[in-house]
Structure 1
């Protein structure tokens, strides 16, 4: 079995219009939501043993904050250039290259690609939008990441900061 956690970066700041999109930092709410969502994963007993992130500052920062809560070494986070504002199909390209030693993988990325990919993965669950710091989890009946696309999948959960408000 392989488990995939799709994590949208936490809320980013728009305070400085001169900052390039790639370099936008997290805002105050994002810095609160990221550790909160990581803690919810701990409570579920759902901890990744590999983290892959878009290199954009807001995604990278979210991954680092969550990794800290998971006791995951921040220096072990893999940055994948192609995840920055990618299409849904790019996720599969990245997933097929994951080493089979990793059972649970978290991928930190952006909308609209991350929501589109989540919807691609299941026929029964449809999500209009993965909110910032939202997590979509699915499990695939396979021992090999290269077979993830065609493997039978089971939806595990969808959680986001305001789901408990």
Structure 2
């Protein structure tokens, strides 16, 4: 059995002067990320590792989660940045099989599309929302359309 928690990055600035890749989190985004990491900790649904887009806002979100949950530093994958649904499915299929529970921090619309693809469920995925998907599969490479079951969903909006 594999478990994947999809996490959309926390709220980032839209101020001018930043390239999209380099947009930092707002203070409220940092607070949301810490709050959502605490939700995972309280529910004992902590991933073994976190894989993230290397964009500043996702990297910072992942760092807040890994530090608060006392996980190893997150691994980056450029394929997550601006990824389409099919690109994210490829990322999931290439996750390291030695891990049974992985966190993936990314961007919308890709995270919403991936959630729908894997579970068949349409959900609003605001910044810092989390969706835990459980699979009966034992191999990340075998995961495909609607293989997953949404077992937990939460966002800072409640």
Q: TM-score, normalised by structure 2?
A: 0.95
User: What's the counterpart of residue 103 of structure 1?
Assistant: 100
Give the 3-state SS of the residue equivalent to 2:24 in structure 1: coil
Change over 3 Å in CA distance of 1:150–1:8 after alignment to 2: closer
5+ residue gaps, structure 1: none
5+ residue gaps, structure 2: none
Residue pair 1:141, 1:151 contacting (<8 A) in 2 also: no
User: What's the counterpart of residue 130 of structure 2?
Assistant: 135
Q: TM-score, normalised by structure 1?
A: 0.91
User: What's the counterpart of residue 122 of structure 2?
Assistant: 126
User: What's the counterpart of residue 43 of structure 2?
Assistant: 44
Deviation of 1:126 (Å): 1.5
Query: What is the distance in 2 between the residues matched to 1:44 and 1:148?
Result: 25
User: What's the counterpart of residue 21 of structure 1?
Assistant: 20
Equivalent residues, number: 158
Query: What is the distance in 1 between the residues matched to 2:96 and 2:107?
Result: 23
Deviation of 1:46 (Å): 0.7
Change over 3 Å in CA distance of 1:141–1:58 after alignment to 2: same
Residue pair 2:118, 2:146 contacting (<8 A) in 1 also: no
Question: What is the aligned counterpart of 1:83 among 72, 80, 83?
Answer: 80
Residue pair 2:37, 2:69 contacting (<8 A) in 1 also: yes
RMSD, matched Cα: 1.2
Q: Once superposed, which parts of structure 1, at least 4 consecutive aligned residues long, lie more than 4 Å away?
A: none
Question: What is the aligned counterpart of 2:139 among 144, 149, 153?
Answer: 144
Residue 76 of structure 2 corresponds to residue 73 of structure 1:
no
Deviation of 1:139 (Å): 0.4
Residue pair 2:93, 2:142 contacting (<8 A) in 1 also: yes
Query: What is the distance in 2 between the residues matched to 1:152 and 1:61?
Result: 30
Deviation of 1:43 (Å): 1.2
